[in-house]
């Protein structure tokens, strides 16, 4: 077999576990996510109408929609980005890993946040993730260590 074909096969093998994790996450999220009906309220800082944050519950969210999604506090300030999702042995998403701080990846800190604490709000026809914590709260939280799968 030519070297180019061997390299191509090896590259496909390396991608396959990532795809399996993504597909498993999508299946897990399909049963545990969605947007509940939310009331509309006026945000005092921006003057825009936004839907009150509601729990992630039963449908309409893909893992790819949550992975790398921005996370905001209740005052609409960006506090971080979802950098990973943790799925338990039953296939339920239990934790979102949120990257906070840093610039271009330098100085960032990963923090584990209970998945149930993430809420969804709608603004201008777009859904966004809300966490009832400020960036300072997240920076003060214990760092999450992906190698040991626990806070450091």
Per-residue pLDDT of 12-34, as tens digits, reads 555 444 544 444 454 444 444 44
**Residue 117 CB neighbour total at 10 angstroms:** 14
Each residue of 49-80: pLDDT tens digit?
Answer: 444 444 454 446 788 888 899 999 999 999 99
Least confident of 49-53, 81-85, 97-101, 105-109: 49-53
- Helices and strands of the chain, counted as H and E runs: 3, 11
- Fold classification of 3-151 is SH3 type barrels. (2.30.30)
Q: Report the C-alpha gap between 5 and 100 in whole angstroms.
A: 41
Q: Which residues contact 39 (CB under 8 A, 6 or more apart)?
A: 51, 52
pLDDT confidence of residue 58? 44
Is the whole model's pTM more than 0.75, yes or no? Answer: no
Mean pLDDT (whole number) for 106-134: 89
């Amino acid at each position: 077999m030519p070297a180019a074909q061997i390299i191509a096969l090896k590259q496909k093998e390396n991608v396959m576990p990532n795809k399996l994790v993504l597909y498993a996450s999508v299946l897990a999220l399909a049963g545990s996510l969605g947007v509940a009906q939310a009331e509309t309220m006026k945000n005092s800082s921006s003057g825009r109408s936004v839907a009150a944050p509601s729990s992630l519950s039963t449908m309409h969210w893909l893992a790819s929609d949550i992975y790398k999604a921005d996370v905001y506090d209740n005052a609409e300030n960006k506090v971080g980005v979802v950098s990973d999702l943790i799925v338990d042995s039953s296939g339920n998403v239990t934790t979102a890993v949120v990257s906070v701080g840093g610039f271009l990846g330098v100085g960032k800190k990963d923090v584990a946040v209970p998945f149930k604490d993430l809420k969804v709000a709608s603004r201008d026809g777009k859904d966004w993730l809300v966490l009832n914590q400020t960036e300072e709260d997240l920076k003060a939280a214990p760092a999450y260590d992906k190698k040991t799968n626990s806070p450091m």
